[in-house]
Amino acid sequence: MAGDGGGNTGSPAPPFRPHRLTWAALLARVFAFDFTVCPACGGRLRLIAALTDPVSVSRYLQGVGLPTEPPPLIPPKAPPQQSWYFAT
């Protein structure tokens, strides 16, 4: 057969398997939730843009009514008591 590199042994070609899974497939595997399904209508969601510029991200968040600043950090707590102190 032309174009098979001469290595045709007569066995059928293995099915095509992608080397990498999509982000949606990985998230679905980890969280058992399909992130590509719209929760409102059940339609298929697709990525249309990725915002990386801080000014653009802030403008988008303002436009959809979300806070543009991260929530305040909670002050650290002391670690739990690791040992008991006994008077001797």
Cβ neighbours of residue 41 under 8 Å, at least 6 residues apart? Answer: none
Q: Which residue has the CB atom at the shortest distance from Zn ion?
A: 38
DSSP one-letter string for the chain: -TTSTT---SSPPPPP--SS--HHHHHHHHHS--TTB-TTT-PBP-------SHHHHHHHHHHTT--SSPPPPPPPPPPPP-S-----
Instruction: Give the x/- contact pattern for Zn ion in 39-68, rule: CB under 5 A.
Output: -xx-x-------------------------
For residue 59, which amino acid is it? R
| Span of 16-24, 37-45, 46-54, 80-88 interacting with Zn ion by CB under 5 A | 37-45
Choices 3-11, 33-41, 52-60, 64-72; region in contact with Zn ion by CB under 5 A: 33-41
To Zn ion, the closest distance from the beta carbon of 49 in angstroms equals 17
Which of 30, 38, 66, 73 forms a contact with Zn ion (CB under 5 A)?
Answer: 38
Judged by the rule CB under 5 A, the positions of this chain that interact with Zn ion are 38, 40-41, 43
